[in-house]
Amino acid sequence: MENDRRSTAQAQAQDTAQAQAPSGIPQPSPARRAEFARITNETDIVLRVDLDGTGETDIATGIPFFDHMLDAFGRHGLFNLAVAAKGDLEVDAHHTVEDVGIVLGQAVASALGDKRGITRFGSSLVPMDEALLLAACDLSGRGQLHYEVKLPIEIIGNFDTTLVKEFLVAFAGNAGLTLHVRSLAGENSHHIIEAAFKAVARALSAAVAVDPRIVGVLPSTKGTLS
């Protein structure tokens, strides 16, 4: 009751005092970014990711359609993402796409650290014209992909669309991410795949978000997300 009758001046003074108090104010979390390099006989990849970015991307994999998808992933997840990949494209795009998935997964896992204070779960529904894609994820530590995406055609430009699943398997496995991706509607394969990348990005963006109500808390009843 007393608080209800406080004067405007008192209220402002109290609010100012609260705003300036060091305790109770969520502190800025440490930088959540990572840089990984991976060199094999098949690919040479350098990747940087910042989970708290603004969607700035710098992508060069030598595979234009894949560049387009990674660009969409960064922009719509609001991750800053730089990928420089040189792969054995004279064989085909398989090694390059899969290995970028591996390195992106490793980098996201590293950037997350011990996962304290994160939302953990995320989901999104993303339309692109007639296509409608669902993605749902859990940063469970158990990397697994459940993929039900119907694609009318197998090749876009010269991109083999079966590689989308290979990318997501590698990404989810290395990020420790339980990831479900489903196409609920769609006729154009470009639309379906692009909506899938955007949906995964938006779901992941929600899952990695810091929740100020659980600063320093691991969101697990089990006590581990590893």
Phi, psi for 203 (deg, rounded to 5): -65, -45
CA nearest neighbour of 43 among 102, 93, 99: 99
Sign (positive or negative) of CA dihedral 78, 97, 67, 72: negative
**How many residues make up the chain in this entry?**
226
112/192 with CB nearer Mn ion? 192
**Residue with Cβ nearer Mn ion (47 or 195):** 195
**Closest distance to Mn ion from the beta carbon of 72 (Å):** 7
Nearer to Mn ion, 61 or 178 (CB): 61
Nearer to Mn ion, 166 or 194 (CB): 194
Binders of Mn ion among residues 18 to 77 (CB under 5 A) are none
**At its nearest, how many Å lie between Mn ion and the CB of residue 134?**
19
Give the span between the Cα atoms of 141 and 224, in whole angstroms.
8
- Cβ-based nearer residue to Mn ion, 92 or 129: 129
Instruction: Please work out the total of residues on this chain that contact Mn ion, with binding judged by CB under 5 A.
Output: 1
Contact string (CB under 5 A) for Mn ion, positions 166-205, x = contact: ----------------------------x-----------
Give the shortest CB-68-to-Mn ion separation in angstroms: 6
Dihedral Cα 91, 93, 99, 102, nearest 10 deg: -150
Is 129:195 a contact under the CB 8 Å cutoff?
no
> Nearer Cβ to Mn ion, position 99 or 194?
194
Shortest gap between Cβ of 84 and Mn ion (angstroms)?
22
- Cβ 172 vs Cβ 179: under 8 Å: yes
Determine, following the binding rule CB under 5 A, whether residue 98 of this chain makes contact with Mn ion: no
CB of 7 to Mn ion, least distance (A): 58
CB of 104 to Mn ion, least distance (A): 20
Residues with Cβ within 8 Å of 16's Cβ and at least 6 positions away in sequence, in order, are none
List, in sequence order, the alpha helices (H) in the chain: 8-20, 64-77, 94-112, 163-175, 189-208
Residue ranges in contact with Mn ion by CB under 5 A: 194
